[in-house]
Amino acid sequence: MKISVITVGLFNQCFQYEHGCDLPAGTVVEVPFGVTNRSVLGIVSSEKIETDRELKSIAKVHPYNIGENYVKFLNWMASYTLIPRGMILKMILAEKSIFSAKKEIKISQDICNFNIQDIILNEEQQKAFDAMQDNRPFLLQGVTGSGKTEVYLKKAKEIFDRGQQILILFPEIALTEQIYKRIEKYLGVSPIIWNSTISVKNRKSAWLTAISGQKCVVIGARSALFLPFKNLGLIVIDEEHDSSYKQEEQGCYNARDMAIVLAKISNIPLILSSATPSIESVVNVRKGKYGYFNIKNRYGTAQLPSLQLIDMRQNKFDGFISPPLYFAIKERLEKKEQCLIYLNRRGYSPITLCKGCGEKLACPNCSTWLVYHKDMDKLICHYCGHKISIPKKCPHCEAEDSYIPFGPGVERICDEIKRKIPIARVLIASSDTFSSDKNTEESLSKINNNEVDIIVGTQILAKGHHFPNITLVGIIDGDLGLFGADLRASEHTYQLINQVAGRAGREKKPGEILVQTFKSEHPLFQALLANNSENFINLEIENRQEQQLPPFTKYAAIIISGKNKQKTENIAKLLRKTCSKNIKIFGPAPAPIFMIRGKFRWRILLKSNHKNALNSEISTWISQLKIPPDIKITIDIDPITFL
């Protein structure tokens, strides 16, 4: 009997094989592939294809089926994102060692030996919970500290108690620790963690639990969306606005948007939770596509923190911490309270230059400056990982010991605090120091146990964390990220400052936010000062609508990359020449980061008011071109960044 198979790999089409009997769509199989007949995984497809070629036989049928919903999801996602079906299937069949296991792998057990506590909601939270009535996506907005987590966990408990599976996605691995304990407390089960740091054994167990249909709670990063749940009852996207949900390598997709599609296919509820929702989600609420509730007050007696702008044009001082922020830090330390000092820059300084000639040290593989990390005494490229020591002599002017750091990173801010306040216990929180589950847990424990006075952190601490004794948040550079080519720059900056500010005053002690800025008159800062997010959001939506920017029009980006500079440029120009007249095209132009990992990059931006037609137009257009094997074409539907 002829069987169509979608194989793991770079192919979008099906391949036909022989088998002794019919197999249901979604069945996991192994097949011989290519001239070498190497064994590859695949799933059975219901597609009918005709071929006159002699067919190979399916080598092995595994006792797993990813299910009708995931087959539909795979096909929809491939047609929308233009990622080959074989690459999406690779994400679904995430742990290939399962299929070569010689002994039985145990699935995660649903052992409930915790003292389960009832989730007590206040009046506002209860109204939010009651508003979740149907299977439309539901946007749960609420100020930081309002108890959004308890609202969606109560919904999760309701569905979990019916015997179904729950998936909760987070943008940062570091956020899973606190929710883990709450799930144990409220649902009586240890959740399954899924991210890049877990062991192969745990990955196998999680995958098998998902496909078995056994009730469970999975918390994880965006890749958890591709676990083949057999009995999924609810998806939660926490911090739904966060750009970390967008994958931009090995196939571009937005996990938030794909989760909405999976929920629709599965006919299950989906909750989008955020204190600062994305413009896209707000527009969908206003169109009636999403349910919605806004929790406007913090839980219990906690009050929202006050906010003050520090105009850096009127403050002359040495270093990067202004006098108002310095005195505010000292005041908090005298009260035995904690401070969070925020700067979204890793390392000691973003640029190292020669004081003799001004030459900056750049990465040889990327169009970026090397970042100095003082704790390692190394200059590091944050794109390719290239690492060197500071040269003794400038290669440009030959001056010796002439290199100096320029600009601050979190390590430099930490040094300044230690120099000015020697008694302070300071901890750095960044992806460098939160590099493993163990390091993250130890650092969070120190903060919660008041073993540190001041946390100097990047955006890794901006979301979701609850630190009762932090009463002051100081933002070193409020303007960082506000200006540039990103059409979402203002929105992202507003969200990030709101999220960071939300770490202060979350319990009985009042909180204060101090923002250092050179543009205090900017509408964003004025909205923050007036605590009027709605005016800011309305202005952003109005601007986007007037200029026909997303979500009011459709964008797609094409990134052309290759090691040969001229050849890459020529292919970019060929794409421009052959583009459909139905698509408005901008470019090609050199990417803002022109070279990454030794490959030159050109970008083309495509725009169309016909949202459903753009993807198929691109697919047809690209498939007709002969692209050299040493040139890579990356298609990014609904791009978030333009680097």
Predicted confidence (pLDDT) at residue 533 exceeds the cutoff of 90: no
Q: What confidence score (pLDDT) does residue 102 get? A: 62
Residues 19, 26: Cα–Cα separation, whole Å? 15
Peptide bond into 588 cis (omega under 30): yes
Q: What is the mean pLDDT of residues 607-633?
A: 89
Q: What confidence score (pLDDT) does residue 144 get? A: 86
Q: What is the mean pLDDT of residues 555-575?
A: 96
Residue 515 — pLDDT band, cuts 50, 70, 90?
Answer: very high
Q: What confidence score (pLDDT) does residue 105 get? A: 64
Residue 98 — pLDDT band, cuts 50, 70, 90?
Answer: confident
Q: What confidence score (pLDDT) does residue 164 get? A: 97
Which residues contact residue 499 at a Cβ distance below 8 angstroms, ignoring those fewer than 6 apart? 144, 239, 275, 276, 459, 462, 463
Q: What angle do CA 256, 257, 262 make, to 5 degrees?
A: 95
Cβ atoms of 121 and 95 closer than 8 Å: no
Q: What confidence score (pLDDT) does residue 468 get? A: 85
Predicted confidence (pLDDT) at residue 446 exceeds the cutoff of 70: yes
Structure tokens at 364: 């040889």
Predicted confidence (pLDDT) at residue 290 exceeds the cutoff of 90: yes
Predicted confidence (pLDDT) at residue 115 exceeds the cutoff of 90: no
**Each residue's pLDDT tens digit, 484-498:** 667 888 899 898 888
| Among candidate residues 446, 330, 451, the one with its CA nearest the CA of residue 321 | 330
Q: What confidence score (pLDDT) does residue 287 get? A: 96
> SS3 helix, strand, coil % of the chain, rounded to 5?
30, 25, 45
DSSP 58: P
Q: What is the mean pLDDT of residues 90-103?
A: 82
Strand partners, 375: none
Residue 289 — pLDDT band, cuts 50, 70, 90?
Answer: very high
Report all structural domains of the chain as residue ranges with CATH numbers, in order of start: 2-100 (3.40.1440.60), 123-295 (3.40.50.300), 306-345+408-542 (3.40.50.300), 554-637 (3.30.70.600)
**Each residue's pLDDT tens digit, 356-369:** 999 999 999 999 99
Predicted confidence (pLDDT) at residue 31 exceeds the cutoff of 80: yes
Residues 152, 179: Cα–Cα separation, whole Å? 11
Residue 113 — pLDDT band, cuts 50, 70, 90?
Answer: low
Q: What is the mean pLDDT of residues 535-541?
A: 92
Q: What confidence score (pLDDT) does residue 78 get? A: 97
Least confident interval from 63-72, 473-482, 503-512, 532-541:
503-512
DSSP 237: E
Strands (E) across 476-611 are located at 512-517, 554-562, 584-596, 599-608
Residues 466, 175: Cα–Cα separation, whole Å? 10
DSSP 460: G
Pairing of strands 2-7, 38-45: antiparallel
Predicted confidence (pLDDT) at residue 109 exceeds the cutoff of 60: no
Q: What confidence score (pLDDT) does residue 484 get? A: 67
| Among candidate residues 356, 392, 390, the one with its CA nearest the CA of residue 372 | 390
Residue 476 — pLDDT band, cuts 50, 70, 90?
Answer: very high
| Among candidate residues 286, 273, 242, the one with its CA nearest the CA of residue 534 | 286
Phi, psi torsion values for 591, nearest 5 degrees: -65, 150
Cβ atoms of 89 and 65 closer than 8 Å: no
Strand order in the sheet with 306-311: 306-311, 512-517, 470-475, 338-342, 454-457, 426-429
Q: What share of the chain has pLDDT > 90, as a percent?
A: 73
Q: If you count them, how many residues does the chain have?
A: 643
Q: What is the mean pLDDT of residues 166-191?
A: 88
Residue for token digits 């901008």? 586
Stronger pLDDT, 249 or 127, i.e. the higher one: 127
Q: What is the pTM of this model?
A: 0.93
Residue 642 — pLDDT band, cuts 50, 70, 90?
Answer: confident
**Each residue's pLDDT tens digit, 303-357:** 888 899 999 998 778 899 999 999 999 999 999 999 999 999 999 999 999 999 9
| Among candidate residues 489, 543, 483, 480, the one with its CA nearest the CA of residue 516 | 480
Q: What confidence score (pLDDT) does residue 112 get? A: 61
DSSP 57: B
Q: What confidence score (pLDDT) does residue 65 get? A: 97
189: left (phi over 0), alpha (psi -120 to 50) or beta: beta
Structure tokens at 77: 């996602």
Residues 370, 391: Cα–Cα separation, whole Å? 12
Residue 110 — pLDDT band, cuts 50, 70, 90?
Answer: low
* Residue 246 vs residues 5, 92, 344, 480, 486: alpha-carbon distances, Å: 29, 17, 19, 21, 15
Q: What confidence score (pLDDT) does residue 582 get? A: 82
Stronger pLDDT, 260 or 113, i.e. the higher one: 260
Q: What confidence score (pLDDT) does residue 464 get? A: 66
Structure tokens at 310: 């520090």
Q: What is the mean pLDDT of residues 230-234?
A: 98
| Sign of the dihedral defined by the CA atoms of residues 251, 252, 256, 259, in that order | negative
Residues 591, 383: Cα–Cα separation, whole Å? 15
DSSP 54: P
Predicted confidence (pLDDT) at residue 48 exceeds the cutoff of 90: no
Peptide bond into 551 cis (omega under 30): yes
Q: What confidence score (pLDDT) does residue 188 get? A: 92
Q: Where are the alpha helices (DSSP H) in 196-254?
A: 200-212
Residues 298, 121: Cα–Cα separation, whole Å? 12
Average pLDDT, the chain: 92
Least confident interval from 68-72, 77-81, 194-198:
194-198
